Structure 1
Amino acid sequence: MGHIRTLRVTQRAMERAMLGVSLPDQIRNEEIRRRTKVTDIAQRVAMLRWQWAEHIARRTDGRWGSKVLNWQPRTGTAYVNPQPGGQTTSSESLDPMDTSGPES
């Protein structure tokens, strides 16, 4: 179950407790929200996320937050340059104690 759904369920339970209403009374969530005049938590979270994104986008100091917002994932496949002879790896390079590097 997602975090937003958990927050919504908890908020509805608290609102029902505030009004003294139980689930078997079958009162719609919209009616409960109208009576309590409480803002929906999912809407509030969405608004706060947008405000944070706007705040980060306005920054010009080069911190990682603005870089993450502008990040574009790589598309396609990675190109592997094979070693001479057509092999991409050699059995000698699999030795964990070998630090000599590739041999030319």
Structure 2
Amino acid sequence: MMYAAETWAIKKTEEKKLDVAELRMLRWMCGVTRRDKIRNEVITGTTGVTKLSDKIQVSRLRCYGHIMRRDEQYIGRGLLEIEVQGTRNGGRPKRRWMDCIKDYLRSKGLTGVEVWHRDR
């Protein structure tokens, strides 16, 4: 389910759908149905599995850290800072990968530099 997840720019509703699918799989693996009325926290606690959305966020930050540690001439780093000319369509802007990174960093009170040097 997480193939190339570090490049996804998913919305909250899509994250919830992934979490629901993961819990359905965990329930199936444990042989538990919804009729048994066992809470999700008990299922995840017994299996020791963290939420899929959290794993995706960690992989996104790992990818961001790898890109930012590369030299200035690396094409991936240049693509993060690119500004596209022209106008966008009306309505709400599409969610971009960098928007996901900035939202997560803001919610955790981190700066980009802390993420870059975390792996070292």
Structure 1 residue 61 displacement after superposition = 5.3
Aligned residues: 76
Structure 1: any 5+ residue segments left out of the alignment?
75-104
Question: What is the DSSP-based 3-state SS (H/G/I as helix, E as strand, rest coil) of the residue aligned with 2:65?
Answer: helix
Q: Which moved more, 1:51-60 or 1:19-28?
A: 19-28
Structure showing the higher helix proportion among its residues: 2
Partner of 1:18: 29
CA contact (8 A) 1:12 1:29 kept: yes
Q: How many angstroms apart in 2 are the aligned matches of 1:4 and 1:64?
A: 29
Q: How many angstroms apart in 2 are the aligned matches of 1:64 and 1:6?
A: 33
Partner of 2:15: 4
Q: How many angstroms apart in 2 are the aligned matches of 1:26 and 1:65?
A: 47
Question: What is the DSSP-based 3-state SS (H/G/I as helix, E as strand, rest coil) of the residue aligned with 1:35?
Answer: helix
Larger Rg: 1
With normalisation by structure 1, the TM-score equals 0.59
Q: How many angstroms apart in 2 are the aligned matches of 1:68 and 1:5?
A: 29
Q: Give per-residue Cα distances to partners, 1:7-29, cap 9 Å, x unaligned.
A: 21211011101111111222221
Structure 1 residue 66 displacement after superposition = 0.7
Q: How many angstroms apart in 2 are the aligned matches of 1:10 and 1:49?
A: 20
**Residue 37, structure 1, aligned to residue 45, structure 2:** no
Q: Give per-residue Cα distances to partners, 1:22-54, cap 9 Å, x unaligned.
A: 112222211110011112211110000000000
Q: How many angstroms apart in 2 are the aligned matches of 1:63 and 1:4?
A: 30
CA contact (8 A) 2:72 2:78 kept: no
AA matched with 1:32: I
Q: How many angstroms apart in 2 are the aligned matches of 1:30 and 1:65?
A: 39
With normalisation by structure 2, the TM-score equals 0.52
RMSD: 2.6
Matches within 5 A, 1:1-104: 2-60=13-71, 62-71=73-82
